[in-house]
Structure 1
């Protein structure tokens, strides 16, 4: 996978903005993801075709964290915007406050790569959330990597 450097969504998220989002989601983002998004906020990717669960996928872009989503041309790619659109399809817990499965990248045709905090709040796995198979409070996910670093290694992305 290649990162298209000229597609990084600016402004890059500040530490304060990230902390505010983490409070809203009621989770702490893994350090490897934080390092990535602070430099590659919402970046588009190419040559990101892969298989998972006997299906082919194509990653389009990573999602971003923005302060002013309404006035930003890339606001539709903000993690909060996507989360608010599909949130009830990301959990089976109707009483959940915050997030358990957080979208971080869009895939061709409406699926998302997500951080999955359901089994470990401190070290989320990476999954694919299937929009066609998921219903309200009935998410369908497929494990993709053990952690965000594993996802980057899977695509040979060096964050340094």
Structure 2
């Protein structure tokens, strides 16, 4: 993992067991490189903070927290975004514009890729099915239109941060 990253405003350190437990409760086996980072840097922002999604420059906001009292508690965030996110996508951080950095487990439940989820034009899948008459599969397909590849691993994502 990069040594030159500067993490600011991190929560108190959290145990590896707690992180794994939370992930499993929500149905996700969190990757070890992410666990190693979030143990010390949960809730933190990072510098450098910019990364690319295709040709678009994006900005890292902060990692979600494992502190149950935090407004950025990862479980609360997952519950809020779950109706809109595609299946097997798990949010781990945000950007300043309300978009999310997520793990996508669609093609590999052990080694998820890192994706960027754009909230613009994202609708709740239930609403799409009810109001637009979409099937569950069609609503899922529509939800996937807002997901963009960033990196093969969390470590690779961190390696792509620049100023």
TM-score (structure 2 length as normaliser)? 0.78
Aligned to 2:156: 150
SS of the residue 1:121 aligns to: coil
Aligned to 2:128: none
In 2: Cα distance, 1:116 partner to 1:154 partner = 18
In 2: Cα distance, 1:117 partner to 1:128 partner = 13
Structure index of larger Rg: 2
In 2: Cα distance, 1:15 partner to 1:50 partner = 27
Distance 1:142-1:17 versus aligned 2 partners, 3 A rule? same
Superposition RMSD in Å: 1.9
Is this contact kept in 1: 2:113–2:154, CA < 8 A? yes
In 2: Cα distance, 1:15 partner to 1:47 partner = 25
SS of the residue 1:144 aligns to: strand
Is this contact kept in 2: 1:57–1:108, CA < 8 A? no
Aligned to 1:111: 99
Offset, 1:84: 1.2
Is this contact kept in 1: 2:61–2:93, CA < 8 A? yes
Aligned to 2:73: 78
* Runs of 5+ unmatched residues, structure 2: 126-142
Runs ≥4 residues deviating over 6 A: none
1:44-123 mapped onto 2 (5 Å cutoff): 44-66=45-67, 68-69=68-69, 75-91=70-86, 100-123=88-111
Aligned to 1:3: 6
Distance 1:16-1:129 versus aligned 2 partners, 3 A rule? same
The C-alpha deviation readout for 1:31-61, integer Å capped at 9, x for no partner, is 1011111121111123312321332211111
* Runs of 5+ unmatched residues, structure 1: 70-74, 94-99
Aligned to 2:116: 128
